[in-house]
Amino acid sequence: MRSGFVNLIGRPNVGKSSILNHLIGVKLSIVTDRPQTTRKSMKFIYTDERSQIIFFDNPGFQDPKNKLGQEMQNIIYNNMKDADLDIYVMDNSLENGRLDNKVLDLAREDKNKKIVIINKCDLLKEDELEMLIQKYKELDLFIDVYPVSAVTGYGFKELLDGIYNIMPEGPLYYDEEMITDTMTREIMEEILREKFLIFLNEEIPHGINIETEEYIEDEDSISIRDIVYLERENHKAIVIGKNGTMINRIINAAKKDMQEFTNKKVRLKIDIKIRKNWRKNIGIVKSWIK
């Protein structure tokens, strides 16, 4: 039996969460086309007959602009401490941006074993993909280069074989049925946050935090009351929308996904509160982003 701990590292939006959702076959991590969707790290536990691999979905590597951003960076560095393998995730971009270069600088300093994934291959022509593979091979930083697509599933078998070969001999750390140790109620908070990210523009959803106030589950239903914290008083009207249209759309979209995820009827109520500029307040950030 081989087992180990593996990090996914990359700038926001390259598809780290999408890759892990595809790998486990369940949408555990929220996914949007907005950068900095993932805020906390989440374990994805992959078990088959020969191995158990515990993957960490991490927030995107970024230049922190506030305490929340710093805390998200700390999560990445902490997870790197005990990892058996760090997977650097790049996307289909042909030219490296500034953050891509910073991610590669991080890889240069990283003493762990490292491989690189080129994600979103479905968006690349064959010759472009060849060029990118060559580019990452020539860096001489990574044990190997794996082109994949989290949308089509291309390249996953080769990727899993490659990871397996690097894993040390080890025990089954978790029950083989387990796919995460994150509680369902936290996944529900994330589902709701995803809808804010999808339906609201610009900065507002990045300043939203959701805390579960009440969570009552029985055999076939779940009743949830969440507090939605906003950063500013004047965001409230935008979040609620005319006659509540915006907030109702968000709640209905979230409920639909929550019901699909749990296979139970979900009742969802929210209260809106203001925590002025909470992203700059280290105390609040630390208590919320654990």
Cα–Cα–Cα angle for 44, 230, 225, rounded to 5 degrees? 65
| Three-state secondary structure of 224-252 | EEEEEEECCHHHHHHHHCHHHHHHHHHHH
Does 36 interact with ligand GTP (rule: CB under 6 A)?
Answer: yes
CA-wise closest residue to 143 among 125, 126, 167: 167
Does 62 interact with Mg ion (rule: CB under 5 A)?
Answer: no
Does 149 interact with ligand GTP (rule: CB under 6 A)?
Answer: yes
The secondary structure element, H or E, covering residue 212 is strand 209-217
Residues ≥6 apart with Cβ < 8 Å to 183: none
Minimum CB separation from Mg ion for residue 275, in Å? 23
Which position among 151, 160, 179, 253 is part of the footprint of ligand GTP (CB under 6 A)?
151
Does 14 interact with ligand GTP (rule: CB under 6 A)?
Answer: yes
Residues ≥6 apart with Cβ < 8 Å to 113: 84, 85, 86, 143, 166
Which position among 1, 48, 64, 123 is part of the footprint of ligand GTP (CB under 6 A)?
123
Shorter beta-carbon distance to Mg ion: residue 222 or 289: 289
> By CB under 5 A, what part of segment 5-24 binds Mg ion?
16-17
| Cα-based torsion angle of the residue sequence 242, 247, 253, 258 in order, rounded to the nearest 10 degrees | -160
Query: Which partner from the list ligand GTP, Mg ion, none does 155 bind, CB cut-off 5 to 8 Å by kind?
Result: none
Does 241 interact with ligand GTP (rule: CB under 6 A)?
Answer: no
Does 41 interact with ligand GTP (rule: CB under 6 A)?
Answer: no
Query: Which partner from the list ligand GTP, Mg ion, none does 147 bind, CB cut-off 5 to 8 Å by kind?
Result: none
Stretch that binds ligand GTP, among 26-34, 184-192, 213-221, 270-278 (CB under 6 A): 26-34
C-alpha–C-alpha distance, residues 199 and 253, integer Å: 10
Assigned token pair, 225: 């009351």
Phi, psi of 35 (to 5 degrees): -65, 155
Assigned token pair, 103: 């991610």
Shorter beta-carbon distance to ligand GTP: residue 111 or 290: 290
Single-letter amino acid code for the residue at 108: R
Stretch that binds Mg ion, among 35-43, 208-216, 231-239, 248-256 (CB under 5 A): 35-43
Query: Which partner from the list ligand GTP, Mg ion, none does 151 bind, CB cut-off 5 to 8 Å by kind?
Result: ligand GTP
Which position among 38, 41, 52, 180 is part of the footprint of Mg ion (CB under 5 A)?
38
Does 92 interact with Mg ion (rule: CB under 5 A)?
Answer: no
Give the HSE-up count for residue 260: Cα atoms under 13 Å, Cβ half-sphere: 10
Q: Cβ distance 117 to 158 under 8 Å?
A: no
Does 35 interact with ligand GTP (rule: CB under 6 A)?
Answer: yes
Phi, psi of 186 (to 5 degrees): -75, -35
Shorter beta-carbon distance to ligand GTP: residue 122 or 158: 122
Minimum CB separation from Mg ion for residue 134, in Å? 27
Binding site for ligand GTP (CB under 6 A): 10, 12-18, 31-33, 35-38, 59-60, 119-120, 122-123, 149-151
